[in-house]
A and B are shown apart, each in its own frame.
Chain A
Amino acid sequence: MLDGALDDPSDWPAEHTGLRDLDQLLRCPICKEYFTTAMAAASCGHTFCSLCVRRCLTQETKCPSCRAPLTESDLHPSRLIDSLLRAFVGGRQRLLAALSAARPEPTDADCARPGARRNLRSAGAAAHDMPEQRKRPRIRTRSAARTDDGSDSPGSTGDCIDLPSSDTGHGAWAPSQHTDDDSDFAPTEAHIQPSKGPPAVPCPNCQQAVAAARINWHLDRCLAGRPTDGARGGPWGLAHGAATSGGSAPKRQAPLRLQSAAAGHTLPRPTKMAYSLLSEAKLRRTLRDLGIPTKGDKQQMQARHVEWVNMYMANADSDAPVSHRLLLRRLAAWEDALARPADAAKHPPPDSPADHAAKYSDAFASLVAQAQASRKRPAASDA
């Protein structure tokens, strides 16, 4: 569901080890992505994505990091990590752009005089060290300025984390972003400004900048082809359901909200089962009652049920749960991906000697001809 970009801790310039470490620490050890609904283990304190760790615990009730015994009831949501991540990811692209642009570029003062900058650059001056010293103070000033004007995100204290959500001109801290860059960012800025608080992320579907906290809700509507603007009243996670129930849904405590909004399209909460004790017919009935597909044999249904329980619970953990309709679509996508290896197995092993010989038969033939020709020549000269 992400935008497909292969972001990685090593995207950060090598000299910023702190940012690299931060990026690394905000990633799940299982999927190596940023945490999606971070859950911490009560006993050992290791943190994972909710869905990742639930999938692991289905296989084995041990912490994937330290192998200490761990069950799903020992998992606790760490909302702080989710919030940190929202702030960090929201600013990541622009911080990266600013850092990489700042590196070969000179300082602000020189920027004001384009002529001077050109001279500096062509002279190959030691521009590499300068931004390093200047960047942090500059960024700090900005965040100080934000708190002064009473901006409303008390959770964000890091000096570089919430760069994108602040609204004073960014020319001051990113001297190298010229007019073209600015126009790229303009829509984002414009979109955020009204809400001012939460950082924005681009929607993977429509590319529109959306407050990170609302992205799941937005995506849900966006994929379903529904209008995504102005629906402030609708409960975030259940937007597709009975529209009449909209209005004042509580904004915290996802599981509670799920239950209270029960009617409409919400599907019943599944529980884990002892599959070996269930007959195929009974399992099929259970799946039908839960509202998930009932095709396939018992093994397939069992796998689907396990995944559904994990998906459902992970969604309930989230502070911005998605609709069950979208969740069902994800279940289908997961199943499609599992069905693929059969196709992959059809390919012959690519390194088989016969294939190799056939593929390069022309090259071999010409080599043989060359070798024969060069053997004949010395023989001819001897004679």
Chain B
Amino acid sequence: MASVTKRLLKELHDIRKEPSTAELASLGPVSDADLLRWRAVLRGPRDTPYAGGFFELLIDIPEQYPIRPPTLTFATPVCHPNVHFDTGEICLDILRTQWSPAWTLASTCLAIHVLLANPEPSSPLNCDAANLLRCGDGLGYQSLVGLYTRMFAYSAQ
């Protein structure tokens, strides 16, 4: 058994014990045929304009995992300064330079959950959302995010 398979089975075994948490509605392989492609559904963090939404993430796992980081993209359109609105690409250091093999897929999803609640407008992938934050228009940002959450994320589960 390749080491990646073994490690992923272990993570899956771990997740199966608590399949749904306050942050993660679900996490697991897309199909039984391919263990290197996972799907996660995040719950929108409470007290943010994302609350109530379900956000689907697609996870591509390289054969060198956990030495190399997995690739996560949002399948649900998300309005967030660090998420590309069209491609779902996520700008987060732990997915690139700051990755550590000690992370798991569950903890990585948790990090993205935290990113939703804590946008970082200084390195944006979505300039419009970032500009609203940078010029201090919190209300505008919140209502824009709330609109997109209602449009796309209420039915994603």
Residue A10 is within 8 A (CB to CB) of chain B in the complex? yes
- 4 nearest interchain CB pairs? A337-B2, A29-B102, A30-B101, A350-B31
Interfacial chain A residues near B2, Cβ < 8 Å: 333, 337, 340
What total of chain B residues lie within 8 Å of the partner, measured CB to CB? Answer: 28
Q: Contact between B101 and A52 (Cβ–Cβ < 8 Å)?
A: yes
Interfacial chain B residues near A33, Cβ < 8 Å: 6, 10
Interchain residue pairs with CB less than 8 A apart (26): A2-B6, A4-B1, A6-B10, A10-B17, A29-B102, A30-B67, A30-B101, A30-B102, A31-B3, A32-B10, A32-B11, A33-B6, A33-B10, A56-B67, A59-B68, A64-B101, A64-B102, A65-B100, A65-B102, A333-B2, A337-B3, A340-B63, A344-B36, A350-B31, A350-B33, A351-B30
Give the Cβ gap from B3 to chain A, nearest Cβ, in Å: 6
Interfacial chain B residues near A340, Cβ < 8 Å: 2, 63
Interfacial chain B residues near A344, Cβ < 8 Å: 34, 36-37
Give the Cβ gap from B11 to chain A, nearest Cβ, in Å: 8
**Taking A8-B13, A56-B67, A350-B31 as contacts, is the C-beta distance between A32 and B36 under 8 angstroms?**
no
Instruction: Encode contact with B along A116-131: 1 for CB under 8 Å, 0 otherwise.
Output: 0000000000000000
Residue B46 is within 8 A (CB to CB) of chain A in the complex? no
**Taking A8-B14, A30-B102 as contacts, is the C-beta distance between A338 and B33 under 8 angstroms?**
no
Q: Contact between B63 and A29 (Cβ–Cβ < 8 Å)?
A: no
Instruction: Encode contact with A along B104-141: 1 for CB under 8 Å, 0 otherwise.
Output: 00000000000000000000000000000000000000
**Taking A52-B101, A59-B68 as contacts, is the C-beta distance between A341 and B63 under 8 angstroms?**
yes
Q: Contact between A59 and B67 (Cβ–Cβ < 8 Å)?
A: yes
Q: Contact between A8 and B10 (Cβ–Cβ < 8 Å)?
A: yes
What total of chain A residues lie within 8 Å of the partner, measured CB to CB? Answer: 27
Residue A347 is within 8 A (CB to CB) of chain B in the complex? yes
Residue B53 is within 8 A (CB to CB) of chain A in the complex? no
Knowing that A33-B6, A65-B100 touch, tell me 5 more A-B residue pairs with CB under 8 angstroms. A10-B14, A10-B17, A56-B67, A337-B4, A340-B2
Residue A298 is within 8 A (CB to CB) of chain B in the complex? no
Interfacial chain A residues near B10, Cβ < 8 Å: 6, 8, 32-33
Give the Cβ gap from B92 to chain A, nearest Cβ, in Å: 15
Q: Which residue of B6, B33, B64, B67 contacts A347 across the interface (Cβ within 8 Å)?
A: B33
Give the Cβ gap from A241 to chain B, nearest Cβ, in Å: 28
Q: Which of A54-92 contact B (CB under 8 A)?
A: 55-56, 59, 62, 64-65, 67
Q: Which of B1-49 contact A (CB under 8 A)?
A: 1-4, 6-7, 9-11, 13-14, 17, 30-31, 33-34, 36-37
Give the Cβ gap from A299 to chain B, nearest Cβ, in Å: 14
Chain A binding surface SS class: loop
Bound complex: CA of A319 vs CA of B18, how far in Å?
38
Q: Contact between B30 and A67 (Cβ–Cβ < 8 Å)?
A: no
B residues within 8 Å of A by Cβ? 1-4, 6-7, 9-11, 13-14, 17, 30-31, 33-34, 36-37, 62-64, 66-68, 98, 100-102
Q: Contact between A31 and B100 (Cβ–Cβ < 8 Å)?
A: no
Chain A CB count within 10 A is highest, among B31, B37, B63, for B63
Q: Which residue of B7, B13, B14, B37 contacts A31 across the interface (Cβ within 8 Å)?
A: B7
Instruction: Encode contact with B along A4-40: 1 for CB under 8 Å, 0 otherwise.
Output: 1010101000000000000000000111110000000
Q: Contact between A347 and B100 (Cβ–Cβ < 8 Å)?
A: no
Q: Contact between B7 and A32 (Cβ–Cβ < 8 Å)?
A: yes
Give the Cβ gap from A28 to chain B, nearest Cβ, in Å: 9
Bound complex: CA of A31 vs CA of B1, how far in Å?
13
Give the Cβ gap from A350 to chain B, nearest Cβ, in Å: 4
Give the Cβ gap from B96 to chain A, nearest Cβ, in Å: 11
Interfacial chain B residues near A55, Cβ < 8 Å: 67
Bound complex: CA of A52 vs CA of B33, how far in Å?
27
Bound complex: CA of A337 vs CA of B64, how far in Å?
9
Using CB atoms, name the residue of chain A closest to B10: A32
Q: Contact between B101 and A56 (Cβ–Cβ < 8 Å)?
A: yes
Bound complex: CA of A56 vs CA of B68, how far in Å?
9
Q: Contact between A350 and B36 (Cβ–Cβ < 8 Å)?
A: no
Q: Which of A326-348 contact B (CB under 8 A)?
A: 333, 337-338, 340-341, 344, 347
Bound complex: CA of A254 vs CA of B33, how far in Å?
42
**Taking A33-B6, A64-B102, A65-B100 as contacts, is the C-beta distance between A338 and B63 under 8 angstroms?**
yes
Give the Cβ gap from A62 to chain B, nearest Cβ, in Å: 8
Interfacial chain A residues near B14, Cβ < 8 Å: 8, 10
Interfacial chain A residues near B30, Cβ < 8 Å: 350-351
